[in-house]
């Protein structure tokens, strides 16, 4: 379980019991834009710009409404892993800022009469915020699918009858799938590559009951003709021609919008081509750093430093300069402050409080924000390890100026070589002679 900046301190996970650190689990800072719980699929999906809404199954109607009524177009909708969550996120963002801050404006009939010109708004992943949102939604869906697949692979209570004979199989799904491939020439693919197996089998059984061909969806008149056709073709459902079954194969979920065969062909082409080590088109994703004292986030370090100084009176640059902190000492100090505040304890006077809010009020009222304890209390090896696993603030720390200056000064210190003009005298005075004597006596 991951806890994110709780407002109250539980006795089990936070605080210190008899002076001992009691954080027993990994912590994570809040992330944006994918840090909220997944929405309820039974809830309607709202329009981004008005009060209209529809059920998740009526996605196409909602997209049509936004194009016709609001001239708003969302690109590559089929590549959005969680459409409902995507819409809810942008609904909130559009309420905070004008639509032109997020969308590209496309003017139709730009060379024609003004009365025939129309402005359309395009929301696409060219915007870094949109790209990050899409990637995070895809990552969350992939994690859920991998978890489901692992559950099915380890399942031991599977029970089902073969679709082509009366033999029953109990235990693991692989027994049934291997049986159909070997005995009936019906190859669904490797069991470890399949996900949502029960739903997959139900779909196939329903098509067979309706006398629909599993490959071309044509309806046959007789059962034996349908079954004979399936067996004679040695059916492989994971073929690229069977798009209907893509969602049941785990490899098709790794890259959204691409099947496993398309990904494999791209990898093969990349191996055959020579690529220069050109990183000129590299685009780094924005990383949000979180304030040491509240949940405020900023995509640039200058903004987060300014926020901490203006809002909380904490000047990290000043502390670094006054104490001459190097990079590793800054890391330990940040992790120490994070841990103390998470455990509802003032890092200046060590007083305990019942909530994080009370700690922050105490820090401001008692003017303890810049009152650091003795260095030996926070300059400990345990604070090399991040209090929060995804603390982006640690990545922005830099060495102090005094340390870099001292390094420059050390470069100017002359190094005097040893005088080796009289090698015989050096050999007689060498400490190795004494060591050899001691070794001889010992032996």
Three-class DSSP category at 219:
strand
Asked if 397 contacts 383 with a C-beta cutoff of 8 angstroms, the reply is no
What is the model's pLDDT at position 91?
A: 93
**Between residues 305 and 431, the one the model is more confident about:** 305
Token duo for residue 431: 């400490």
What is the model's pLDDT at position 403?
A: 47
User: Please, which pLDDT band fits residue 37 given cuts at 50, 70 and 90?
Assistant: very low
Q: Is the model's pLDDT at 187 over the cut of 70? A: yes
Q: C-alpha angle 305/311/317, rounded to 5°?
A: 30
DSSP class of residue 390 equals T
Q: Is the model's pLDDT at 260 over the cut of 60? A: no
Q: Is the model's pLDDT at 207 over the cut of 50? A: yes
Three-class DSSP category at 254:
coil
Residues in the chain: 443
* Chain center to CA of 161: 40
% of the chain surpassing 90 pLDDT: 21
Least-confidence region, from 66-70, 161-165, 334-338: 161-165
Helices (H), 100-253: 128-153, 173-183, 197-209, 223-232
Q: Is the model's pLDDT at 401 over the cut of 80? A: no
CA distance linking residue 238 with residue 149, whole number of Å: 17
* Domain boundaries, given as residue ranges, for the chain: 45-141, 155-263, 289-396
CA distance linking residue 182 with residue 30, whole number of Å: 50
The values of phi and psi at residue 154, to 5°, are -90, 0
CA dihedral 356, 358, 364, 367 (to 10 degrees): -100
Q: C-alpha angle 36/42/44, rounded to 5°?
A: 85
Token duo for residue 131: 């790209």
Average per-residue pLDDT for the chain = 77
Q: Is the model's pLDDT at 107 over the cut of 80? A: yes
Closest to 23 measured CA to CA, from 388, 293, 295, 394: 388
Token duo for residue 246: 């893509």
Report the b/e string of 24-41 with b at 16+ CB within 10 A.
eeebebebbbbeeeeeee
Residues 6+ apart with CB under 8 A from 131: 125, 285
CA distance linking residue 294 with residue 278, whole number of Å: 40
% of the chain surpassing 70 pLDDT: 66
For residue 61, give Cα distances in angstroms to 71, 89, 204.
14, 19, 29
Could you identify the residue written with the tokens 């949102």? 133
> Could you report the per-residue pLDDT of 78-94, keeping only the tens digit for each?
888 889 999 999 999 99
What is the model's pLDDT at position 63?
A: 92
Q: Is the model's pLDDT at 345 over the cut of 80? A: yes
Helix (H) or strand (E) run with residue 407 in it: helix 401-411
* Chain center to CA of 156: 31
What is the model's pLDDT at position 18?
A: 46
Q: Is the model's pLDDT at 233 over the cut of 60? A: no
What is the model's pLDDT at position 419?
A: 61
- Please state, as a whole number, how many other Cβ atoms lie within 10 Å of the Cβ of residue 214: 19
- CA-CA-CA-CA torsion sign (161, 162, 168, 172): negative
């Amino acid at each position: 379980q991951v806890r994110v900046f709780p407002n109250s301190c539980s006795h089990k996970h936070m605080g210190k019991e008899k002076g001992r650190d009691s954080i027993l689990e990994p912590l994570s800072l809040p992330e944006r834009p994918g840090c909220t719980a997944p929405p309820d699929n039974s809830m309607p999906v709202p329009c981004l710009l008005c009060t209209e809404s529809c059920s998740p199954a009526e996605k196409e109607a909602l997209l049509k409404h936004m194009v016709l009524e609001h001239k708003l177009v969302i690109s590559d909708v089929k590549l959005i892993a969680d459409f409902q969550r995507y819409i809810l996120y942008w609904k909130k963002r559009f309420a905070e800022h004008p639509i032109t801050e997020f969308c590209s404006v496309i003017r139709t009939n730009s060379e024609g009469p003004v009365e025939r010109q129309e402005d359309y708004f395009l929301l696409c992943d060219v915007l870094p915020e949109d790209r990050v949102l899409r990637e995070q939604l895809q990552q969350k869906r992939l994690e859920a699918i991998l978890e489901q697949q692992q559950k099915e692979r380890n399942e031991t209570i599977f029970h089902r009858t073969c679709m082509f004979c009366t033999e029953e199989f109990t235990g693991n799904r692989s027994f049934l799938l291997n049986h159909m491939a070997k005995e009936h020439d019906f190859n669904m693919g490797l069991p470890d590559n399949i996900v949502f197996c029960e739903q997959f089998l139900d779909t196939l059984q329903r098509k067979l009951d309706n006398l629909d061909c599993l490959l071309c969806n044509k309806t046959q008149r007789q059962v034996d003709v349908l079954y004979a056709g399936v067996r004679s073709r040695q059916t492989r459902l994971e073929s690229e021609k069977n798009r209907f079954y893509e969602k049941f194969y785990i490899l098709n979920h790794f890259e959204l919008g691409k099947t496993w065969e398309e990904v494999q062909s791209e990898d093969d082409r990349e191996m055959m081509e020579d690529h220069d080590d050109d990183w000129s088109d590299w685009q780094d994703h924005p990383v949000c750093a979180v304030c040491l004292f509240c949940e405020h986030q900023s995509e640039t370090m200058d903004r987060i430093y300014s926020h901490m100084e203006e809002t909380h009176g904490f000047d990290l640059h000043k502390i670094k300069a006054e104490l001459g902190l190097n990079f590793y000492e800054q890391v330990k100090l940040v992790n120490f402050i994070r841990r103390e505040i998470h455990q509802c304890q003032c890092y200046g006077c060590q007083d305990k409080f019942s909530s994080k809010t009370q700690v922050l009020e105490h820090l401001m009222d008692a003017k303890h924000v810049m009152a650091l304890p003795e260095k030996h209390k926070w300059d400990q090896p345990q604070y090399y390890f991040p209090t929060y696993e995804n603390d982006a603030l640690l990545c922005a720390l830099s060495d102090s100026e005094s340390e870099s200056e001292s390094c420059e000064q050390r470069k100017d210190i002359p190094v005097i070589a040893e005088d080796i003009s009289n090698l015989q005298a050096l050999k007689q005075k060498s400490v190795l002679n004494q060591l050899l004597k001691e070794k001889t006596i010992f032996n």
